[in-house]
Amino acid sequence: MKLHVIDTGLFKLDGGAMFGVVPKAIWQKSNPPNEVNMCTWAMRCLLIEDGDQLILIDNGIGDKQDAKFFAHYYLHGNDSLIKSINIAGFSENDITDMFLTHLHFDHCGGGVMNKSGKLSLTFPKAQYWSNADHWRWATQPNEREKASFLKENIYPMQESGQLKFIDVNEKSPFSQFNIFYASGHTDKMMIPMIRYKNKTICYMADLLPSAGHIPLPYVMGYDTRPLLTLTEKELFMNEAADNQYILFFEHDSVNECCTVKRTDKGVRLDRVFKLSEV
């Protein structure tokens, strides 16, 4: 099995929203903002190559929204979804499984493209994976999250006939990884825990957006159930420290991976490194 980092570009989000109740004087040390309080974030995906399977985890923001939409997020950088897949030696037609941690636009937008005014799947031969609970949550959104669940990103998956649901009460359908379910950020977000070189690599999605979010109170303002995030995060981070899990960051613009350790102040950063160093 091989793992390929798929960088899909950078964008900006408000630092206060990303760190919730944590004061700017503290969070700006790890994530310096610009003059309008915006910090730079990655949209880093992961491709699992295993025999005949090519499993892509998340796919970034895509490029089909209008200029007004993108003006809010300041997309930049030289990387893109398809370019990175090509660099890894593959094309859109090679992807067999499109695994979506959740359906917020910056995680699933690249899975659907607008071609000559018609929406179609970016990966025509792939099965697209979500779960029924999260799908219901995304297609009947609450007002707090409504702007993050875009119909043009979601419904084409169902209309194509390629959408598959994972049963949250059953074993993962993928032999390559188990799944940790977290519902503090959004309902039934899926965190893949990949078995690789006798280690466990966890694709952290929005349970842990960056190395700067490791202390327990550092919870995003975007989370729908922040107290539940605290509980889920404490459980996961203690387990990560005890088992030396490798945490792979989707949104950290500087650090790809880290390990954590227990300290007198709780779980804290151990070391950071690139996935290629594993």
pLDDT in the model for residue 234: 98
Beta bridge mates, 42: 10
Q: Give 124-169 pLDDT, tens digit per residue.
A: 999 999 999 999 999 999 999 999 999 999 999 999 999 999 999 9
Mean pLDDT, to the nearest integer, of 227-241?
A: 98
Question: The pTM is what?
Answer: 0.98
Distance CA 68, CA 20 (A): 26
Say how far residue 152 (Cα) sits from the centre of its chain.
19
Q: H or E stretch including 38?
A: strand 38-50
Mean pLDDT value across residues 225-230? 98
The per-residue pLDDT for range 86-100, each reduced to its tens digit, is: 999 999 999 999 999
> Which of 24, 27, 68, 23 shows the shortest CA–CA distance to 209?
27
Q: Under a CB-based contact definition with an 8 Å cutoff, are residues 220 and 242 in contact?
A: no
Is the confidence at residue 177, as pLDDT, over 90? yes
Q: Residue 55, Cα to own-chain centre: how many angstroms? A: 14
Average pLDDT in the chain: 97
CATH pick for 2-198 out of 3.60.15.10, 3.20.20.120, 3.30.43.10, 3.40.710.10: 3.60.15.10
pLDDT, residue 146, reads 95
Tens of pLDDT, residues 251-262: 999 999 999 999
Residue holding tokens 């980092």? 5
The mean pLDDT value for 119-125 works out to: 98
pLDDT the model gives residue 116: 85
Residue 13's pLDDT band, with cuts at 50, 70 and 90, is: very high
Give the rounded percent of residues in the chain with a pLDDT score beyond 70.
Answer: 100
- Rounded CA gap, 24 and 22, in Å? 7
Give the pLDDT score at 89. Answer: 98
Sheet holding 199-203, edge to edge: 177-182, 189-196, 199-203, 246-248, 257-263, 266-273
**17 neighbors 222 (Cβ within 8 angstroms):** yes
